[in-house]
Structure 1
Amino acid sequence: MSFSHIFTIVVPVFLVIALGYGAGRRMSFGGGGADALRVLTMEFALPASLFLGIANTPRHILLSQGPLVGMLALGLLGLFGLILLGLRLFGRLPLPRASILALASVQPQYAFMGVSILGNLFGEAEAAIPIAIAGILVNVILDPLVLILLNLGHPPAAEATASASAPSRVLVSAGGRPAAAEEERDGDTGAAQTATKPIPTWVKVVQPLRKPFAWAPLLGLIIALAGVRPPEMIESSLTLVGQAASGVALLSVGVTLARVGMPQLSPGSIAIALTSVVVLPLSTYAIGLVLTGHEVAAQTALILAFPVSPVPMMLASQHVKSEEHRIASSVIISIVLAFASLPLIINLTN
């Protein structure tokens, strides 16, 4: 595949994000419109698309994905642990700050951008498998683990109060959305209740698993492993809903960026962005070539090569307010960097 062909696949994705950014700056999605866009993306379109992609995959293909599961676990969970350890030992950062910065460094927008780019490169059915595996690892293991670490760290009372009294400005995520982001709907009363009556840790861990983006791929996996297909009427209905996934998801990313404001070009935000779009995919690609071979290494690298997910930004707004703008800035910087790095990595792994 030529570099020019790769570029023609990648560029439209960034143009749609830019369109969403412009719409967000003009407040075209004000008055609850941005929230509706998020709900359509994360609770209907993307879950339907991923469910069908997995459910219609032959069982023997899914059973052969062990190496891919291992490499994605190494990239998402292993490197998260390594970065967390480094920030704690060498950076001397408190556990909440280290946890949220490590999460921002490894969690990519594999769902929003991956459905469009990987679908055009390899076909929607084949692209759905690594996206769904990454979704299961992130939504079932990584994000709940970070929630536990954030609660174990017991952030200072002043920071916790600021977090409770200032609802998150960001409503859209990529690659899964924690339930904490929904607190904005409750207004000041809900925030006050949260401040006086903390939500138990186990509730915060279970809540993300109740979202369609978390359980839909798991349900599709169960159906595929059972060797059955969804009823034709159900499949046709979900196909209509899933067709909205790519465009609406990318618009959501742009609207989210419009709410962040001017990015902070600090060494920390730049380091997170570079780790996400360059260091993480290239290191896992090199390791994968040694452990598994080119095909699995390339699939892993492409899933991890997407920009920083807004999910850590939302968690920071609720638990580590001091890191919210740094992580939000890294999301914007990583998207700008990915415009150049993503085609190069696709060409390298092709």
Structure 2
Amino acid sequence: MTYVIINALTPIFVIMILGFWAGKAKMVDNKNVSLLNIFVMDFALPAALFSATVRTPWSGIVHQGSLIVVLTLSMWIAYAAMYFIATKGFKKSPQDSAVLTLTVALPNYAALGLPILGSVFGNSSSTSLAVAVSIACGSVLMTPFCLLILEREKSRAAGTAQGSTLSMLPVLMWRSFKKPIVLGPLLGVILSAIGLHMPHIVLHAIKPLGIAATGSALFLTGVILSARKLTINKAVLVSFLTKNLIQPFIAWGLVVIFGIQPQIAVTAILMIALSAGFFGVVFGNRFGVQSPDAEATLLLSSALCIVTLPLFLSLTSGMMH
């Protein structure tokens, strides 16, 4: 099992190291990655997420309802708690806190989900469905929280904010949901729900973008990291512990409370136990928000996932018997 985890994590580190090297060697301008960010955030990732969700049968999504509830609540609880700690405890700005908490709350479903679940349940259609549902939950039900805060602070900085956050909510929601990174998977879910099958030629046309999504996002993350001086501080340690240990136990508590059947319970716990994802860092960069703690958390969570993930694999093994 350790080999499976190392095998799943290796591409993540290799591609980020290549991006880091490219930035340090000045092959890529690591101070200005807006063009690469536009490609990743507005084209590659939306295409990948749209393809994943539009091909997921609506009946399968409904059947995975209990998985959706556990994943969503685990992410929301972790996000709310970490955002409070970041703003009140560590006195971070709302933008920095939003980026850090998204990094903590949203696991790396896209890169690690299928290898890890496949090693436990086999590479079946139900495994692929569970990963697709996890990706949809993260992109549709989690990322808008971060976008809402970033859009709000952007409006305030520009002097265009009118009234309280609550009064601004409809405008902020519209700005967030029309972003390709949210609109892509949301549109895929809607089309799946109404039973509209996307023509094969359309999916075939955007397939290269989807294939490039994870690799380009990891490369971009490496380039961003190359421009920073990373340090491990109290905020990073708290974020790591929240992501790699506390959040999976939150998921565990939820599956016990709801009495969820074993296979879905194990799936939910292992999906939440994955290392931190790169969305927070990439989102922040798009809005000009630098969060060294989020970047350090991403690296620490990914590196030590090799220790914490086997822990939850071992703890959940008894559920299936």
Q: Deviations over 1:168-199 (max 9, x none)?
A: xxxxxxxxxxxx5xxxxxxxxxxxx9756344
Task: Identify the residue that residue 251 of structure 2 maps to in structure 1.
Answer: 284
Deviation at 1:26, TM superposition (A): 1.5
2:276 counterpart (300, 307, 318):
307
**Does the CA-based 8 Å contact 2:9-2:112 persist in structure 1?**
no
Deviation at 1:127, TM superposition (A): 2.1
Task: Identify the residue that residue 238 of structure 1 maps to in structure 2.
Answer: 206
Deviation at 1:36, TM superposition (A): 2.7
Deviation at 1:233, TM superposition (A): 1.4
Deviation at 1:43, TM superposition (A): 1.7
Task: Work out the CA distance in 2 between the residues paired with 1:125 and 1:286.
Answer: 23
2:191 counterpart (217, 223, 231):
223
Which deviates further from its counterpart, 223-232 or 31-40?
31-40
Task: Identify the residue that residue 330 of structure 1 maps to in structure 2.
Answer: 297
**Does the CA-based 8 Å contact 1:100-1:316 persist in structure 2?**
no
Q: Deviations over 1:114-167 (max 9, x none)?
A: 477569764655522211111111133x2255458x76xxxxxxxxxxxxxxxx
Which deviates further from its counterpart, 113-122 or 327-336?
113-122
Cα 1:143–1:299 shift into 2, 3 Å = farther
Task: Identify the residue that residue 143 of structure 1 maps to in structure 2.
Answer: 146
Task: Work out the CA distance in 2 between the residues paired with 1:23 and 1:66.
Answer: 43
Task: Identify the residue that residue 189 of structure 1 maps to in structure 2.
Answer: none
Cα 1:22–1:281 shift into 2, 3 Å = farther
% same residue: 22
Letter in 2 for 1:128: A
**Does the CA-based 8 Å contact 1:136-1:214 persist in structure 2?**
yes
Task: For structure 1, list consecutive stretches of 5 or more residues without a partner in the other structure.
Answer: 152-179, 181-192
Q: Does 1:275 align with 2:273?
A: no
Q: Deviations over 1:50-77 (max 9, x none)?
A: 2122212222111112212211221111
Task: Identify the residue that residue 56 of structure 1 maps to in structure 2.
Answer: 55
Deviation at 1:326, TM superposition (A): 3.5
Task: Identify the residue that residue 70 of structure 1 maps to in structure 2.
Answer: 69
Which deviates further from its counterpart, 40-49 or 128-137?
40-49
Task: Work out the CA distance in 2 between the residues paired with 1:320 and 1:237.
Answer: 33
SS in 2 for 1:57: coil
Cα 1:313–1:247 shift into 2, 3 Å = closer
Letter in 2 for 1:253: T
Task: Work out the CA distance in 2 between the residues paired with 1:317 and 1:326.
Answer: 17
Task: Identify the residue that residue 166 of structure 1 maps to in structure 2.
Answer: none
Task: Work out the CA distance in 2 between the residues paired with 1:275 and 1:23.
Answer: 31
Task: For structure 2, list consecutive stretches of 5 or more residues without a partner in the other structure.
Answer: 163-167
Deviation at 1:33, TM superposition (A): 7.4
Letter in 2 for 1:219: L
Which deviates further from its counterpart, 70-79 or 111-120?
111-120
Letter in 1 for 2:38: V
Cα 1:301–1:316 shift into 2, 3 Å = farther
Cα 1:46–1:94 shift into 2, 3 Å = closer
**Does the CA-based 8 Å contact 1:99-1:146 persist in structure 2?**
no
Deviation at 1:247, TM superposition (A): 1.7
Task: Work out the CA distance in 2 between the residues paired with 1:266 and 1:67.
Answer: 37
Normalising by the residue count of structure 1, what TM-score does the alignment of the two structures yield? 0.70
Cα 1:298–1:33 shift into 2, 3 Å = farther
**Does the CA-based 8 Å contact 1:45-1:245 persist in structure 2?**
yes
Q: Does 1:127 align with 2:131?
A: yes
SS in 1 for 2:33: helix
Task: Work out the CA distance in 1 between the residues paired with 2:217 and 2:90.
Answer: 37
SS in 2 for 1:260: coil
Task: Work out the CA distance in 1 between the residues paired with 2:118 and 2:24.
Answer: 29
Deviation at 1:108, TM superposition (A): 2.8
Deviation at 1:100, TM superposition (A): 4.1
Cα 1:306–1:101 shift into 2, 3 Å = same
Q: Deviations over 1:269-316 (max 9, x none)?
A: 211122112221233134325522333333333443222646279659
What RMSD, in angstroms, separates the aligned Cα atoms of the two structures? 3.8
Cα 1:286–1:44 shift into 2, 3 Å = same
Deviation at 1:219, TM superposition (A): 0.9
- Aligned counterparts, 1:205-220, within 5 A: 205-220=173-188
Deviation at 1:217, TM superposition (A): 0.9
Task: Identify the residue that residue 36 of structure 2 maps to in structure 1.
Answer: 37
Task: Work out the CA distance in 1 between the residues paired with 2:196 and 2:24.
Answer: 46
Task: Identify the residue that residue 165 of structure 2 maps to in structure 1.
Answer: none
Which deviates further from its counterpart, 243-252 or 290-299?
290-299
Task: Work out the CA distance in 2 between the residues paired with 1:97 and 1:42.
Answer: 18
Task: Work out the CA distance in 1 between the residues paired with 2:56 and 2:283.
Answer: 33
Q: Deviations over 1:253-281 (max 9, x none)?
A: 212221222x2222222111221122212
**Does the CA-based 8 Å contact 1:273-1:334 persist in structure 2?**
yes
